[in-house]
Amino acid sequence: MDNIFRFADELGPAKIIHIYEREADLKAIVVVDNIDCGPAIGGVRMATDVTTEEVFRLARAMTLKNAAADLPHGGGKSAILADPKQPLADKERLVRTFARAIRDVTEYIPGPDMGTDEQCMAWIKEEIGRAVGLPKAIGGIPLDEIGATGFGLSICAEIASKFCHLNLEGARIVIQGFGSVGKNAARFLTAKGALLIGAADSQGTLFNPLGIDVKQLIKLKNSGKSVISYPQGDKLDRDAVIDIECDIWIPAARPDIIHADNVDRLKTQLVISGANIPFTEAAERICHERNIIVVPDFIANAGGVICAAVEYDGGNQTTAFETIAKKIRYNTTLVLEQVAKTGKLPRQAAVELAQRRICLARQDI
């Protein structure tokens, strides 16, 4: 816990809550980072190895993401320390217990995240009356089903590619983490003419320089198989995805995948951050020195939370896609123009953008 205090600054965190209920075997962490722009929206992660520091860093990413997207929401995050693949009945019991435990944390609006989904949000909504990323059947805009985050990544890549003189049509893409975000990013980007040549999941890496049939690969993944079950191409170890030469590299899994010890293995022109905090600060700095553009997570992967905010405001899927495209196109351009003009790191330019919008919100309070 002491490590968290060194991160505290003028933005937050506003509140850190540890939850323990022995009878339900519930261990959870909630961080409400900042609510200057409005109630905090942030996902509920389920994993066995999440730390308070990680939840805080993810909550801060949500603060910056929501502010940069000019949403009327602050940033928060939570984690349930449990196996997301446990029997469904046990998972439901745990999620409902967690929901009741945060009933009075009204400044926090839960959403889906790694290890949770629309069904989990429906359970939370039933318990406490607030959640986003709900199933379509109960009036939600299912983020994973429509691929909101992946769609936003494709918009970001379309804009960012122009800043490194890259033609998106025919661009070779590699995706680290072929889950919901990765699958949809591949789907939208290949629809724009890009070529998927590499994909990795927890079981290994698939590499085919001639291109991978995205529809077939998604079908395999949806059936519960690994990317290495795909019939054509080389089957490599999981970390080999870092070494594949490409034009666009997309991390779409866990935090801190790329750090000072492995960043030199990257052979790409452009990184579109699909995961939250996938690069350490040192790795981003090294990429900048090597003229690799790394579009920060809270700019590139904001599609999901923009969609969630539209849902919370009563909007529909059409409005969500229009809003995602508009906001990510504008913010990516704004940040990368600032980088080109000043030589600042993309993250620095993006943080300054978000901080300006938080300051404006504070003035309006």
Closest CA to 247 of 292, 306, 299: 292
Closest CA to 76 of 136, 28, 117: 28
- Cα 122 to Cα 134: distance, rounded to the nearest angstrom: 6
- With tokens 């939250």, the residue in question is 276
- Identify whether 77 is a catalytic site residue: yes
3-state secondary structure of 26: strand
- Flag whether 149 is marked binding: yes
State whether the Cα torsion 216-221-223-225 is positive or negative: positive
- Flag whether 48 is marked binding: no
DSSP 105: -
Q: Is 229 in contact with 253 (CB distance < 8 Å)?
A: no
Say which of 15, 27, 77, 267 is annotated catalytic: 77
Q: How far is CA 166 from CA 3, 270, 350, in A?
A: 41, 9, 22
DSSP string, 269-335: SEEE--SSS-B-HHHHHHHHHTT-EEE-HHHHTTHHHHHHHHHHTT--HHHHHHHHHHHHHHHHHHH
- Which residues make Cβ contacts (< 8 Å) with residue 236, sequence separation at least 6? 204, 205, 206, 207
Binding residues for substrate, as ranges, are 65
Name the residues annotated as catalytic: 77
Binding residues for NAD(+), as ranges, are 149
Binding residues, as ranges, are 65, 149
